[in-house]
Structures are given as C-alpha cells and as structure tokens.
Amino acid sequence: QQQVKQSPQSLIVQKGGISIINCAYENTAFDYFPWYQQFPGKGPALLIAIRPDVSEKKEGRFTISFNKSAKQFSLHIMDSQPGDSATYFCAASLRYGQNFVFGPGTRLSVLP
Amino acid sequence: DTEVTQTPKHLVMGMTNKKSLKCEQHMGHRAMYWYKQKAKKPPELMFVYSYEKLSINESVPSRFSPECPNSSLLNLHLHALQPEDSALYLCASSNDRGGTPNYGYTFGSGTRLTVV
C-alpha cells in the first residue's frame, strides 16, 4: 500500500531525445508527487512536483504527467542533455507529509 | 542561505568507535530528517524531527542516536556500528507546511560512512 513502483531501472537516451520515466502507486491517500534528481556523491535535489488536481505540469524541459484514475505519473525530459545523466527518484506523500515514499530509482544516461 | 550542510563528508570508523554526524540549515525549516542510502537504492527514512521534537523513528537500532539541539542543528550519534551500516547518510529539511508549488525536502550532500 505504501509502495511506489518505478520503471525503467535504467535508461539510455541520445542527446536531444526524450527521456520518459514512469511511476505507479497504490495508496489513494497520497496527495503530493515530487521528482528528485541525484548526481553521484550528492544528495537528491527536488526537480519538480505535482498534486493530483492537475494532469500536467511543465517547468522548462521537465514535464510531469499525472493520471489519477490509473494511479500513475511520469517524468518527461525533453531535449535530453548529457548533464541530465543522473538517478531520478519519484516519490509520494500525504499532504504536507513528513514521510516521503521513494520509488527505487532510474539511472539515466544521455549519450553525447 | 538555501543549503543543508553536512559534516564530515567522509568518515571511516571502527566498530568500537563513537562518532557524530552533523547537519545544519538556516532556512527556517522546522522539520529535519535523517536518511540512510545504500548504493543504487533510494533513501530510507531513519528519523524525523518536527519543531525540535522526535516525531518519527523508523525502528532504527539504538546504535544510532539522533539529537536536535536547536531548530538549525541536527546530529546523529554513532556507536558500536556494524560493517553493514556503511552507507551515505543524508540530512534533509523541509518547511513541513507546504504552501509552495514545489514543496519538498532540501537534502544535504551527505556523509559517506565506512565501518571497518
């Protein structure tokens, strides 16, 4: 019930391509869905987040698509760059929750 | 200041040693967290402090002892650790009341702990 599933485990994309990472959850009480980006040797950094009252949110090259009925959400990285190569974690929490449930992560490699 | 600062960045300790990890933030966040992250795994929550009081302890062994001296500081005291405790220990903070479009944690860069 508390689990967040994430796929794929790893992803290789050519420079300029679109990277797509998918997540799914079970707990319908989750009310907030952030994405974190983590570079080697660094802590995760908040990238973009969405609440279930909207179906899409875009910030620069990063877009979250949210399907409340399917309990799924995804991260799209447009015009992927080598500097985007990192591990991406989706997460979920209750509204203003203090305990985020993280997905297992996706290691993205963008080839030059 | 929009950072969470963790010291030390690297720590090697023996199983009989006592050491402490330190975390500091000056963003006025009233919730602070300790996470443990193993290689190629997501962060795992250990402790949550809210308004300087321990609010969540995720069944962490007593060899890990958290302390929150004030609203800006968070410590993790380590004693009699095992080699399997080797991991990246992350501190995070949040304003715990949302209200911003992208509410979430601000993580530090972590302390890479090796227990020998």
Whether residue A103 has pLDDT greater than 60 = yes
Instruction: Say if the Cβ atoms of A98 and B108 lie within 8 Å.
Output: no
Whether residue B102 has pLDDT greater than 70 = no
**B78, B81, B87, B91: CA torsion to nearest 10:** -20
A 35-94: CB under 8 A from B: 36, 41-46, 48-49, 89, 91
CA distance B11 to A71: 41
Q: Which of A87, A107, A15, A1 has its CA nearest to residue A44?
A: A87
Contact B82, B62 (CB under 8 A): no
pLDDT tier for residue B107 given thresholds of 50, 70 and 90 = very high
Report the pLDDT value the prediction gives residue B23, as an integer from 0 to 100: 98
Ranking B12-21, B58-67, B89-98 by mean pLDDT, the lowest is: B89-98
Whether residue A98 has pLDDT greater than 80 = no
Q: How far does the CA of residue A45 sit from the closest CA of chain B (Å)?
A: 7
According to DSSP H, which parts of chain B are helical? none
